[in-house]
Structure 1
Amino acid sequence: MSSRSPDLALAGRLADAADAITSARFRAQDLRVSSKPDRTPVTDADTAVEDAIRELIAAERPGDTVAGEERGGSASTTGRVWVLDPIDGTKNFSRGNPVWATLIALVEDGTPVVGMISAPLLGRRWWASAGGGAWLRDGTGEHRLSVSGVASLADSYVSTTDLGTWTEYHSREAYLTFVDACWESRAFGDFWHHCLVAEGSLEVAAEAIVNPWDVAAAQVLVTEAGGRFTDLSGAERFDGGSALSTNGRVHDAALELLRKP
């Protein structure tokens, strides 16, 4: 693994353990799916992955704390916190769609310093560490990532997760105005569009609503690839409740159009 550090190496081992569980449970006939209080789905694979990762962290880094989607904990505390989303894209996972990933971030005093995103059914793993660059491993090898050089929204390729979230949590009008100013829009969604920004395949990934574990790993990945990551107010934070990843060159213009009317 390029740009290796002890924490990044541990993140890789955590991702290996997660991939072994998720790959085995994907499309399993006995997969158990239930709903959380917010009506989002959770599977037995989600909880199994988080429990396995927590056990490994406790053995390897007993002084660190953990915040995860399924078992709780605060991602906004001081010190070292591992922030986990055992399966980002659970709706896809539970319906047999291979676009899902395990997200692992190490946050130090509120700043993500390691990010690991592993999508085994896509055959892709992304990672980054502070000062170490952003990387992708796929079927052709390891590649250092860099955001695109597109300089205007009119030439930008953009993505969100679900148009309905803009109506509920931010402004549907603002998002559609933004889309109209861009070249092309898609809904790759979840972890994937942030990774595509880091790869230079998209210019913007915008989210009206996120949880910290959804984007902590994406923040370090995008910034180490040369891009910018903020919430929709423009604050450089992963726990602000929304997210905007860009190549940096179109960030301010995107923020301006995405403001609530």
Structure 2
Amino acid sequence: MAPMGIRLSPLGVAVFCLLGLGVIYHLYAGVISTRLAALRGSRTVDLRELLALSVDAAVQGGKEVKIVHEGHALEQRSKGKTKEGADELLTTGDLQSHKKMFNLIRNAAPDVTVYSEEHDNTVDKTAIWSREIPAEILEKVEGGREAPAGSVTVWIDPLDATQEYTEDLVKYVTTMVCVAVDGKPIIGVIHKPFTGFTAWGFVGQGSNLRPRSSYSVVAPKVIVSRSHSGKVRSFVQEAFGNSTSITEAGGAGYKVLALLEPPPGESDSVDQADVYIHITLIKKWDICAGAALLAALGGQMTTLKGEHIDYSGTALSKGGLVASVGVDHKALLERLPNGA
């Protein structure tokens, strides 16, 4: 008698193979996932290159902001209300700048985490960084400084001061990029699209700006938000007196620049202040770049209670903020009222 054999149909073979693959997947999926995560964690990014990339992204985003404004194609709409009841506006300028900045950074540094104020995830593979590092960065920043990709968080504000942008108050408008390592702001870039100036700072390395020669903490000039001020005026007057000079301005990036020595050609387009105070909720993409820029120049940006702000995880920063440079930051904090 001839030996009996088992014959499988092509369908049976396919089912058998799929079952086998399923068993293998369940056995090894965890191992593969762990190894991929470890590989990502072992990759590093060059921070000088990331600074140059951030500068280019801010500039390229700024070009989009300016093109939309000059073409009168803002198409503004509200994306919600702030806690103070003001409209949070969105324009074509915000979106076009976001697409350019987000894709430029994502394509050049795919292993880092990127957060942007806007949420259009349209992929644009044509947004390619030239990998050119500006001469002033090569001169002031050492090469070879790296960080694990998994520890890096990049915060993008594609258009800071959107309200003012819609009102033609373009001196307040900036585009910003911040690089945080383990939650600490290390690199800050603030670009002014309508003058073309770009401020940058790298903590421990340098900046293309500097603090002014003198500041006052006895009777400081205080700069605050013009659209999200809350009760900041009474708060500031309680701290420093009813005659305190208070300037209302748009954009967190602009207000940080007001604390610094303006470069040639910029003195007429930026107010001057000794301290920047904000007492309501604020988003981290609004303040991270300014925090890094000030830190690079020996300044500080903290909550009203002097706590450091962690630039990882959630986008919302609570506890208000106090920003200063060239003064005793602790002395400023001690003069603030207990409640905001």
TM bracket, shorter-chain basis? 0.7 to 0.9
2:86 pairs with 1:86: no
Q: Which moved more, 1:39-48 or 1:242-251?
A: 242-251
The partner residue of 1:62 within 92, 110, 133 is 110
SS of the residue corresponding to residue 179 of structure 2 reads: strand
Task: Quote how far apart the aligned CAs of 1:178 are.
Answer: 2.5
Task: Quote how far apart the aligned CAs of 1:19 are.
Answer: 1.8
2:77 pairs with 1:34: yes
| Cα 1:67–1:51 shift into 2, 3 Å | same
The partner residue of 1:51 within 93, 99, 108 is 99
Task: Quote how far apart the aligned CAs of 1:30 are.
Answer: 2.7
Structure with greater Cα Rg: 2
- Kept in 2: contact 1:49–1:86 (CA 8 A): yes
Match for residue 198 of structure 1? 260
- Separation in 2 of the partners of 1:104 and 1:164? 22
Alignment-mate amino acid for residue 100 of structure 1: V
- Separation in 2 of the partners of 1:180 and 1:72? 45
Q: Which moved more, 1:96-105 or 1:242-251?
A: 242-251
Give matches, 1:122-141, under 5 Å: 122-135=195-208
Deviations, residues 107-161 of structure 1 (Å, cap 9, x unaligned): 11101111110012134221101212232xxxxxxxx41254435322x222111
| Cα 1:260–1:148 shift into 2, 3 Å | farther
Match for residue 6 of structure 1? 49
The partner residue of 1:146 within 184, 187, 211 is 211
Q: Which moved more, 1:191-200 or 1:17-26?
A: 191-200
- Separation in 2 of the partners of 1:181 and 1:229? 24
Which 5+ residue runs of structure 1 have no aligned equivalent?
A: 136-143
Deviations, residues 204-257 of structure 1 (Å, cap 9, x unaligned): 011123210110000011121222211112112166332211125242233233
Match for residue 96 of structure 1? 168
2:337 pairs with 1:259: yes
TM-score calculated relative to the size of structure 1: 0.83
Identity of aligned residues (%): 22
- Kept in 2: contact 1:18–1:86 (CA 8 A): yes
| Cα 1:164–1:114 shift into 2, 3 Å | closer
- Separation in 1 of the partners of 2:228 and 2:241? 17
The partner residue of 1:166 within 211, 224, 230 is 230
Q: Which moved more, 1:125-134 or 1:86-95?
A: 125-134
Alignment-mate amino acid for residue 53 of structure 1: M
- Separation in 2 of the partners of 1:36 and 1:108? 30
SS of the residue corresponding to residue 335 of structure 2 reads: helix
| Cα 1:126–1:216 shift into 2, 3 Å | same
- Separation in 2 of the partners of 1:189 and 1:254? 23
SS of the residue corresponding to residue 258 of structure 1 reads: coil
Equivalenced residue count is 242
- Kept in 1: contact 2:158–2:176 (CA 8 A): yes
- Separation in 2 of the partners of 1:177 and 1:132? 38
Alignment-mate amino acid for residue 254 of structure 2: W
TM-score calculated relative to the size of structure 2: 0.65
SS of the residue corresponding to residue 298 of structure 2 reads: coil
Alignment-mate amino acid for residue 62 of structure 2: D
Match for residue 16 of structure 1? 59
- Separation in 2 of the partners of 1:114 and 1:89? 21
- Separation in 2 of the partners of 1:62 and 1:69? 19
SS of the residue corresponding to residue 5 of structure 1 reads: helix
- Separation in 2 of the partners of 1:231 and 1:72? 30
- Separation in 2 of the partners of 1:61 and 1:222? 25
The partner residue of 1:180 within 233, 241, 264 is 241
- Kept in 2: contact 1:128–1:221 (CA 8 A): yes
| Cα 1:182–1:9 shift into 2, 3 Å | farther
- Separation in 1 of the partners of 2:229 and 2:177? 24
2:179 pairs with 1:106: yes
Task: Quote how far apart the aligned CAs of 1:172 are.
Answer: 5.3
Alignment-mate amino acid for residue 94 of structure 2: D
Q: Which has the higher strand share?
A: 1
Alpha-carbon RMSD: 2.5
